[in-house]
Amino acid sequence: MNINEYIELINKKLDEYMPEDKFPQDIFKAMKYTVTLPGKRIRPIMCMESCRIFGGNIEDAIPTACAIEMLHAQTLIHDDLPCMDNDDYRRGKPTNHKVFGEANAVLAGDALISFAPQIILKYSKHIGAEKLVKIMEEYFEYAGAYGVIAGQVADIEAEKNWKNNIFGLKPEELLDFIHTHKTADLFRLPLRCGAIIAGASDEDLEKISELAQILGVAFQISDDILDVTSTFEEMGKTIGKDENADKLTYVALYGLEESKCKLTCLLDKSCDMINGFKVQSEPLLEIISGIKKRVCIK
Amino acid sequence: MNINEYIELINKKLDEYMPEDKFPQDIFKAMKYTVTLPGKRIRPIMCMESCRIFGGNIEDAIPTACAIEMLHAQTLIHDDLPCMDNDDYRRGKPTNHKVFGEANAVLAGDALISFAPQIILKYSKHIGAEKLVKIMEEYFEYAGAYGVIAGQVADIEAEKNWKNNIFGLKPEELLDFIHTHKTADLFRLPLRCGAIIAGASDEDLEKISELAQILGVAFQISDDILDVTSTFEEMGKTIGKDENADKLTYVALYGLEESKCKLTCLLDKSCDMINGFKVQSEPLLEIISGIKKRVCIK
């Protein structure tokens, strides 16, 4: 399957999994609104491709892939709240709380954290209880306080006073912590879950985790670069916010040129890793060339 | 074990399960703050007693019991937020966002939704993957958009314009929906999970669900009565808020006398049900007499 076929499949399944006529409709509509905003669907593609790379059937990974996209949407909804990043636009559309109000946006996010694993449990019964338990463990590890939320908390703190070594970390270490948890953990989750569904070995899980880390950092650096060089139309959200807020970013710390250089290096490394798998993955390579294209790297 | 022994055990375990030295500390401290506020621990006691009633070992139910108390704390943290009920006090202490700020309170709540099932998975391995999957299913069903969140959304809507048949429901039906999901579902969850851990039959699960419904409605009516008749010192939170907000409550709909009458009837019925189980449960009966005492029913 190529990227476009994947996106079509994922969008169809997301639409299918998310009811909107259930009572009380407000909450289901708010949940579905952000989940079904057009997106690159990078994480669910990673999940299905990882499953295929390690010899699994991609059909088996669809519910988990979509659940992780729901979790991703949840982080966006809460990240955009007035008490957090206070963003009015996301993917070119008004943010969830702008449409449904703050209370519903908080609750829609809460509901998605529970709804996503419910989808996995409901539609993946045939992979067996043992694998389901493993996937649940991964889900909570990377979705929770040890994973993406740790990254968000550190990110919020870093906005305030990162020059003063908060948490006892140097700015470079703090930035690394944020990238590892805020971004890489949401890549680790789909890549590892896909591999688990395929029955991959612990060694393979290690390898795919390492790829997630490299891709996560690369993705975050590209985002930091785009925040400086891009426009609202290209990004679908308010840009230049990082600089305005004097935020801790890769560009703020190392400058634009070194950031581009580091990004190129990480993307090349991830291509090598992907090419090293027994099964070739055109879609994962396409995701990487997509990042290159966005930040104008050849 | 009597109620006080249970509370002591649960508090000890909650303290043990909730780290506070993990990085970034802000979030773990915020999570632990609300979870470990002194409380009646009704839900975890229900879970362990239900396990015992159906022939299980209460030790096996401890992680699940504590996880459900964490979930309960999560609902309190988000319920108290300025965009929701905007409460400054909870259990006699400043609410989570008053101590840790709004952003951390949102994230601490999010983290608890994931942290709670993680505790179940981590400390209940010996009950086996099949039962773990069942418990996860129950957890997400009652914690999510079909459960307690449905109740919260309906409750928020009901504050605005319940006299106008919102959601196409009459006020009585809407109130019933709120009680069923906002309160009874968080009793159904521990009672059912305890029974599942004990290996109870589907028929027994039905019975215990019915008890949860009766107790949930009774509990909510008692809360509505106390909001009219109690003081801040007795409740540990701002009272009289319902009346000020012209909120849909049992008392607003049926008056104080009929509410007390209905409550007595429900509590008597629940005592009969509890006495009908093969194993006697003094702690569940004590919980009921506790409610009676609070609202001065003999």
Tell me: pLDDT of B266 over 80: yes
Tell me: pLDDT of B244 over 60: no
DSSP H helices, chain B, are 3-17, 25-35, 42-53, 58-79, 96-100, 102-123, 129-143, 148-161, 171-178, 185-197, 202-229, 232-235, 241-244, 250-254, 256-276, 282-294
Burial class (CB in 10 A: 0-12, 13-18, 19+), B218: buried
Are A130 and B129 an interchain contact pair (Cβ–Cβ within 8 Å)?
yes
Q: Say if residues A190 and A43 touch (Cβ distance below 8 Å).
A: yes
**Per-residue pLDDT tens digits for A111-125:** 999 999 999 999 999
d(CA A194, CA A198): 6
Using DSSP, state whether A90 is helix, strand or coil.
strand
Chain A positions touching B31 (Cβ under 8 A) are: 145
Q: What band does A233 get if pLDDT is binned at 50, 70 and 90?
A: low
**Tokens matching residue A127:** 């992979």
Q: What is the mean pLDDT of residues B163-168?
A: 74
pLDDT number for residue B110: 97
Are A140 and B114 an interchain contact pair (Cβ–Cβ within 8 Å)?
yes
ipTM of the complex: 0.93
Of A5-19, A148-162, A214-228, the range with the lowest mean pLDDT is A148-162
Of A9-13, B41-45, B250-254, B292-296, the range with the lowest mean pLDDT is B292-296
Tell me: pLDDT of B257 over 80: yes
Q: How far is A110 from chain B (nearest CA, A)?
A: 6
Q: What band does A214 get if pLDDT is binned at 50, 70 and 90?
A: very high
Cα-Cα-Cα-Cα torsion B158, B163, B164, B165, nearest 10 degrees, comes to 70
Cα-Cα-Cα-Cα torsion A280, A283, A284, A290, nearest 10 degrees, comes to 140
Q: What band does B297 get if pLDDT is binned at 50, 70 and 90?
A: confident
> According to the per-residue pLDDT averaged within each range, which of A78-87, A167-176, B162-171 is highest?
A78-87
pLDDT number for residue B162: 74
Are A110 and B110 an interchain contact pair (Cβ–Cβ within 8 Å)?
yes
Indicate the residue of B149, B152, B167 with minimum beta-carbon distance to A23: B167
**Per-residue pLDDT tens digits for B166-193:** 778 888 999 999 999 999 999 999 999 9
**Per-residue pLDDT tens digits for B82-123:** 999 999 998 889 999 999 999 999 999 999 999 999 999 999
Token pair 């989808």 is found at: A119
Tell me: pLDDT of A244 over 60: no
Are B106 and A117 an interchain contact pair (Cβ–Cβ within 8 Å)?
no
Cβ pairs A/B, distance under 8 A: 147
Q: What is the mean pLDDT of residues A91-99?
A: 95
Q: What is the mean pLDDT of residues B57-73?
A: 98
Using DSSP, state whether B94 is helix, strand or coil.
strand
pLDDT number for residue B240: 61
